[in-house]
Structure 1
Amino acid sequence: ENVYKQNIEQLDKVRTEWEQEHIKTCEVFQLQECDRITILRNSLWVHCNQLSLQCVKDDELYEEVRVSLENCIVESDIDYFIKTKMTGTQPPEAIGYENYYSREPSRRSSSPSQSCGMMKRFSGLLHGSSKNNTEIATPSAPPLGMALQEITERTDGVYASIFVNEEAGITSSQDYRVLYDYTAQNMDELDISEGDIVVVIEENEDGWWTAERNGQRGFVPGSYLQKL
């Protein structure tokens, strides 16, 4: 009986301690839950305030756009664009036809193409030759001693004269294309081949021009060159 009594007392003591510990634990859990709810509420509050502030700014910007749209007049905007971007009230003139094969140079041409006294011979097909004619006339190099003016005067029905640069003594460097092969005959002359690009240093009146190619300089016949 004494043992039973002691066990009952021990059980009551343990139960009392457990109840006290349980109360403390519940209080801790309650504090944690209060903190959680407080943090969540504050976060949502701040987020809503930020969204509200952004909405206010957006509404102000939208209001500015609406005011601008109210002041927009389609007809006035089109008239303003036409006045600031217009290129003229008249359409451009039509391009007139100019005969490339004409013997007489067109005075209306502002920048006629210049050649070095060369005569361009056209194919016989341009003058009504038969289809069986397979021979095509090719340009031949003029004699070296022939003057430029004399070359331009020697034209016939199948030749078309090309304008000659009569301004001699030009010292500005210009690029020319070689039309015919030429082998230097003297030490002061320059070898050139068809298709080469040379730089003309000086155009002399005697028909011999000072040209430079690949660092070498010498005299070449001006009638063998064509300006690029």
Structure 2
Amino acid sequence: MATRFRNAKWLDTNKFGPQVFIFRNLESGQVLYSQLPSYSDYQIKQQFQRPNWQNRKPSTRRDIWKIMAVVDCKDYESAVVTYQSLVRLRAMRDLTLKNVANQFRPKNSDGNIWYSAQYRPVYTQEAVSDLSNVVDTLQTQVKIHWEDEWRKGDLSNWNMSLVQHENLDRAALHTPKELFEQLRQQARAEFQKLRDTTATAENQQQQEQQQPTTV
């Protein structure tokens, strides 16, 4: 299913949630964004356009990717824009602003990006920073489900008027399919509640406008 870009109407029609999924690579620390609770070679090719020895093109092997966070957005349009913004920021850092990005990355004594057994933690740190910046720039309400309490970083880096943080059930992480289904249902329920509230408010406004004006 995660073989190409999906617009807001498609996501809603096919009963997915207004969500963005963030996966992390257990071997390299690289991060992968997806609109669906799955990924394919499409996301790999789109998000790793110029791989090198410090940022190799990763495999789609299921055993080396783990969910890092699930972002619940207020509606499908926000989910699409959030996903696109995260992918664009990644592209800027890897392509057009690569030299600038490297200035801020921790280095080893040999001047290469710091790593331990080929694992580079800077990639997950940059993803968290990007998500915080995207939410703040879009001024959109989100609920973020994190794999670990510490993964989100310091709360001072988040606009707490826009973000609600929750932790994923660690036991449920062992059965991600069931976990993703539960999160999908919750996200759709929250969106439907917002849709119903908006529709009720619009109907009331129309009724008030249609009432005759007394002199």
**Which TM-score band applies after superposition, normalised by the shorter structure?**
under 0.3
Q: RCO greater where, 1 or 2, for CA within 8 Å and sep 6 or more?
A: 2
Which structure shows the bigger proportion of residues in helix conformation? 2
TM-score, structure 2 as length reference: 0.20
